[in-house]
Amino acid sequence: MMMTLANASLILVATLASVAGQFFLKSGANQLGAVSLGNLGRFLLTMTTTPAIVVGLACYAIGAIAYIFALSRIPLSIVGPSVALSYVFSVLMGKFFFGEMIPTVRYVGVSLIMVGVILLVRK
């Protein structure tokens, strides 16, 4: 199957919407602080009124819709691994937006994911 621009765009939207969802959910989680059994009820209630979390969930919904559209047109054996690029973006986002330390072995893993996706979508 040849990857058309429309099909590649669906995969890209699904991936980027998922990454945006992760960004907003992490931002919202940082605002809320750590959850424990003692604050679980308050945590769950506060989650529903935290704008970053609501936006993150909306991004995930958009990503899920784009993913379903992609699955209706493209084999799962291409779509599934392609959205694994969200892992690559997540690592980079963790470093650049949240100041997380990324060990070298994680960069190696991200590189392997990228190579694997390229091999899977090639004709």
Q: What is the pLDDT of residues 1-27, one digit of tens each?
A: 667 889 989 999 999 999 999 999 999
Other Cβ atoms within 10 Å of 86 Cβ, number: 21
Q: Are the beta carbons of 62 and 17 closer than 8 angstroms? A: yes
The pTM (predicted TM-score) of the whole model is: 0.84
| Whole-number pLDDT of residue 1 | 60
Other Cβ atoms within 10 Å of 120 Cβ, number: 14
Residues in the chain: 123
